[in-house]
Amino acid sequence: MPRKKNSLPEDMQAALAENELLVERIVELELALEDIGWQSLTETDREFSRDALRRIVILARLYWLKNPLIKRAVETQTCYVFALGVTTKAKHPAIDAVIQAFIDDEKNKAELFDHQALMLKETELQLFANLFFVFFINSSTGRVRIRTVPFHEVQRVVYNPEDSNDPWYYLREWQEFPLDTAGPVPPVRRAAYYPDWRYRPRDGHPATLYGIEVRADTPIYHVKVNALSDMQFGVSEVYAGLDWARAYKEYLENWASVAKALARIATVITTKGGKKGVTAAKTRLASTLSNTGTGETNPAPVQASTFIQAEGTNLQPFRTAGAQAGMDDGRRLMLMVCSSTGIMEPELTGDPSTGNLATAKTMERPMELRFRARQELWKGVMHGILQYVVNCSVRAENGPIGGTVAVDEWTGDETITLELDTENPDETKRGKPLDRTIDVTFPPMLEHDANVQVAAIKEAATLGGLSQARTMPKMLLSRLLLQALGVENIDAVLDELFPDGEPEPEDEPPVSGSDDDREIPKLERAMVEAARELRDAIRAAKKAGVWE
């Protein structure tokens, strides 16, 4: 039997049409993230597709702007982490001069280091779970300027083919809007690969990758949270609470609708006479304002009026008790938002009645640890950025800090050694590379009794004695005391107290107290020495046979 003409193309067209239909349905599922209970991952079963992540970010942004629970949860964590600021200080003056110049740059302050920028970056990290810092480096002076790339512009991460945890490049796709004084012009689509800030290939970066430009001089530092080690991008930290925040919102809306409907009927009249009795009661209670147009001839009774009813007529208020779910019955939905965001109920709602002093310490401890963990994350981010700035100063031809750069022949990794410190007054550090230690310090996030803190610091410094036990450097001791007392601009105060740096132990001023107090350590040393002399004398006498 001959084959029908064009039967194969028709079969192929039908298969293609069915395939397109399936693809459209998958896309619809991803686009309906807010309407479904579960979201399919990509074919690798490791993470959301890039388009799904885009939808999650859009939802997180909208809920932060509109939903009170999500906004309150994000702002609570942001305030605990950065509301009191952060202090950065390098131990060596030359290193500190470089990082302070970087921080004081107006563009860098606006991007990361002033108070508003810090609060904004923490908020974006919670909502988007990804931050992409871009470094613009002056190869001559080593000066660095930092910027961020929006999350929606980074489309892909290229990893080391032999190590999935070693990122090499980031693909950025964006639109540029050229300036034209003659009138508006259409945007121009751009694409480029940016190297990871820790990736420095032995033979240098290629000019192009997959046919796309590589911008080797602008590396990216990717900070991601709420992600596993094999995921390219993090997932919004509020994503787990979006459905429950929406459910609580809808519950309260439904409750308000029912309450509004019940408010339309305040009383119930029961009367005899069938339809005629109902009509008579209606006539007595109906308004005449719309009928006459000249005034109300049957006005409604004023508040607290008395209703006089005949036998067989019964006027009672409409009872709503138990007729609907209460407003507080939806609390379990709100608690799911607390569980997903890590914010306790009193802080999430602003209602102090849901907490008490007896449970405050035990209930808020997990939340405090969560915020401290986020501060440690930011310590690592800032420390890494500032150390990178120091390295750029060493690599630059005319950088303010000298040093050497050694490249590992096997891995291509760099080892940067700073110039020798020849003028350090401390003989133990003189002739060694500059101390590149950088301290990133957050003030205490909780208010404690200053007297208790000062007493604890004193106990640690003196070990319960009356004089300093040399358990910590004096500058550190002073810093701890100033922090406990809530003094602002601690570094400036320390510079005034110790203009020459940490004093030598023998140059420290005498311990405060009475003359007798200051003599106690000397008496103790004299007693110990006398006891040793007595012991040696007894041993010598026994050896000579004089002492039995």
Residues 138 and 232 in one domain: yes
- The answer to whether position 278 is within a domain reads yes
Query: What does residue 244 show for φ and ψ, rounded to 5 degrees?
Result: -75, -35
Give the pLDDT confidence of 157-189 residue by residue, as tens digits: 999 999 989 999 999 999 998 887 777 888 899
In a domain, 53, yes or no: yes
Asked if 474 contacts 502 with a C-beta cutoff of 8 angstroms, the reply is yes
pLDDT of residue 23: 55
Q: Are residues 347 and 375 in the same domain?
A: no
Residues 349 and 216 in one domain: no
Indicate if 140 and 60 belong to the same structural domain.
yes
Q: Average pLDDT, whole number, for the chain? A: 81
155-157-160 Cα angle (round to 5):
160
Phi-psi region of 470 (alpha: psi -120 to 50; beta: other; left: phi over 0): left
Domain boundary among 354, 373, 392: 354
Looking at the domain assignment, is residue 34 inside a domain? no
Assigned domain for 30 exists: no
Q: CA triplet 160, 165, 169: central angle to 5 degrees? A: 50
Task: Answer whether residue 540 is part of any domain.
Answer: no
Residue 526 belongs to some domain of the structure = no
Q: For residue 72, which of 346, 286, 277 has the smallest C-alpha distance?
A: 346
Total domain count, the chain: 3
Domain final position from 338, 354, 370: 354
Mean pLDDT of all residues in 11-27:
58
Give yes or no: residues 160 and 89 share one domain. Answer: yes
Residues 371 and 228 in one domain: yes
Query: Are 166 and 230 in contact, with CB atoms under 8 Å apart?
Result: no
341 and 403: one domain? Answer: no
On whether both 200 and 262 belong to a single domain, the answer is: no
Residue 459, CA atoms < 13 Å, CB-side half-sphere = 6
d(CA 288, CA 373): 69
Domain that holds residue 260: 242-284+308-354
Same domain as 133, residue 216: yes
Final residue in a domain of this structure, among 319, 354, 389: 354
Give residue for tokens 């629970």.
69
Do 185 and 214 lie in a common domain? Answer: yes
Convert the pLDDT of each residue in 120-136 to its tens digit.
999 999 999 999 999 99
pLDDT in tens, 446-467: 766 577 777 888 777 776 666 6
Are 421 and 272 found together in one domain?
no
Residues 370-408 pLDDT 10s: 999 999 999 999 999 999 999 999 999 999 999 999 988
Tell whether 50 and 199 lie within a shared domain: yes
CB atoms within 10 A of CB 477: 16
The tokens describing 328, both together, are 């507080």
Q: What is the mean pLDDT of residues 61-65?
A: 96
Asked whether residue 94 is domain-assigned, the answer is yes
Report the Cα–Cα distance between both ends of the chain, in Å, rounded: 132
Amino acid at 113: F
What's the burial of 365, exposed, middle or buried (CB within 10 Å: 0-12/13-18/19+)? exposed
Q: Is residue 403 part of a domain?
A: yes
